[in-house]
Amino acid sequence: MTLPTSAEGVSENYWVRSIGTGSAHAKAILLGEHAVVYGAPALALPVPQLRVMASAGWSPAPADDQYDVLFTMTGSASRPMMTEASGSLGRLAAEFKAFVGAPETPNLDVIVDCAIPPGRGLGSSAACARAIVLALADLFGREVSESTTFDLVQTAERVAHGRASGVDARAVGASAPLLFQAGEVQELPIGCDGLFIIADSGDVGRTKDAVELLREGFQRHAGAREKFVRGASDLVEEARGALADGTPKKLGRCLTDNHELLRAAGLSTARIDALVEAALGAGSLGAKITGGGLGGCVIALTQMEQAREVTRRLHEAGAVQTWVVPLRGSGHHAL
The pLDDT, as a whole number, for residue 5 is: 38
Record the pTM. 0.87
Q: How far apart are CA 46 and CA 25, in angstroms?
A: 7
pLDDT digits (tens, 9 = 90+) for 256-307: 999 999 999 999 999 999 999 999 999 999 999 999 899 999 999 999 999 9
**Alpha helix (H) ranges present in the chain?**
12-17, 78-100, 124-140, 146-161, 167-171, 207-220, 224-245, 248-264, 270-281, 304-316
The pLDDT, as a whole number, for residue 93 is: 85
pLDDT digits (tens, 9 = 90+) for 58-78: 877 665 556 677 888 887 654
pLDDT at position 207 over 50: yes
What separation in angstroms does the CA of 193 have from each of 44, 91, 248, 250, 329? 16, 41, 8, 13, 5
What contacts 9, CB < 8 A, 6 or more positions away? Answer: none
What contacts 212, CB < 8 A, 6 or more positions away? Answer: none
The pLDDT, as a whole number, for residue 122 is: 95
pLDDT digits (tens, 9 = 90+) for 69-102: 788 888 765 455 555 566 777 788 888 888 888 7
Coil/strand/helix, residue 271: helix
Burial zone of 120 (CB within 10 Å; 0-12 exposed, 13-18 middle, 19+ buried): buried
Q: How far apart are CA 211 and CA 69, in angstroms?
A: 31
The pLDDT, as a whole number, for residue 66 is: 60
pLDDT at position 12 over 70: no
Cβ neighbours around 131 below 10 Å, total: 28
